Amino acid sequence: MRLAALFALLSLPAAAQAPAPAPVYDTHAVDRILKSVDDLMWHVKMDDLAFVDKVRFTSSPPAREANPTAQGAGNPLIISAYTYIPRKLDRKRKHPMLIYVHGGVHGNNSTTAVPLVREMVEQGYVVIAPEYRGSNGYGKGFWEQIDYGGRENDDIEAARQWALESFDFVDPKRVGILGWSHGGMITLMSIFERPEAYSVAYAGVPVSDLVARMGYKSDSYRRMFSADYHIGKSADQNVEEYLRRSPVTHAHKLATPLLIHSTTNDEDVNVLEVRRLIAALQAAGKPFEYKIYENAPGGHAFNRLDTGLARESRREIWAFLAKVLKPGQ
């Protein structure tokens, strides 16, 4: 009887058997590996021109604590940053520094930025590129530390202070800051919050108005911002919080020479955001320079490509920064 039952079980079709559970992958672990590989590529692509290093320092504490009374709660957050020092730099003299702020909601300083960083170093700039809280490639815990428009700006200031304390050949009166997209937003917030810290700034296709942005983005994008580890509520639930984190709200604070670029066909940061920023700066009577390109090939990435237009646009950027920072002098 038992033998017959066993044969009956073995004869059941495969489709009746419970499917094997799909394997679970830790995407953050994979991102860590990819980040380590990309770190090596920075040396491959930059060592002929610069001394490349990766450093760590502390910034402000996390914006949120899962357990505020836990051991270590409230400790300063540890931030990584890349440094690029020109090999031919005369370290007995003072030189200008650029803080390069990467973009992406959860982006990082990847080697896609090599052409930009090489051009900075070739001009004689010391460059530091901080991996502010929420950057990808440092694990789930750091990824969820994101504070978009908030304490991420502290991480940029921490990088500036670390560099000035560590590099006696950097002139504290000749520090510039630049970034694109989210990096452009952080650039704007940095000069609005700490105008005394920066001599000049460039913001490319910058996220400028989070309330307007939530109005034209997808549901999935909005859900990312309303997640518990992020802003925590949607724009319609807490419009004041989204305004507080928007550069357009702080435009009246501008006291730093500023150049802004955008393009009418930007598929990520709609030009309406940048136009609102420009209008706010003009309404406040602030001097600044800007250029809105008409349907620039490449859209959001138009002047970070290897095209003639991109190189021409970057020459405008470098000339604007050099007027103030005077690299090579």
Residue type, 48: D
Read off the amino acid at residue 193: E
Summarize pLDDT for 112-166 with one digit per residue, the tens: 999 999 999 999 999 999 999 999 999 999 999 999 999 999 999 999 999 999 9
Q: What is the DSSP letter of 101?
A: E
Topology, domain 25-66+74-209+246-325 = Rossmann fold (3.40.50)
265-284: per-residue pLDDT in tens?
Answer: 999 999 999 999 999 999 99
Tell me: pLDDT of 66 over 50.
yes
Radius of gyration of the chain (CA): 23
pLDDT of residue 212: 98
Q: Is the pLDDT of residue 7 over 90?
A: no
Per DSSP, the residues of 211-235 read HHHHHHS-HHHHHHHHSTTTT-S-T
Sheet bearing 95-101, strands edge to edge = 50-58, 78-86, 126-131, 95-101, 170-180, 200-204, 258-263, 289-293
C-alpha to C-alpha distance for 199 and 195, rounded to whole angstroms: 8
The vertex-189 CA angle with 185 and 194, nearest 5°, equals 150
> Taking the CB of residue 137, how many other CB atoms lie within 10 A of it?
23
DSSP symbols for 149-164 = TTTHHHHHHHHHHHHH
Please state the pTM of the whole predicted model.
0.92
Q: Looking at per-residue confidence, does 154 or 2 come out higher?
A: 154
Task: Enumerate the domain spans of the chain.
Answer: 25-66+74-209+246-325
Give the SS3 label for residue 126.
strand
- Model confidence at 204, pLDDT cuts 50, 70, 90, reads very high
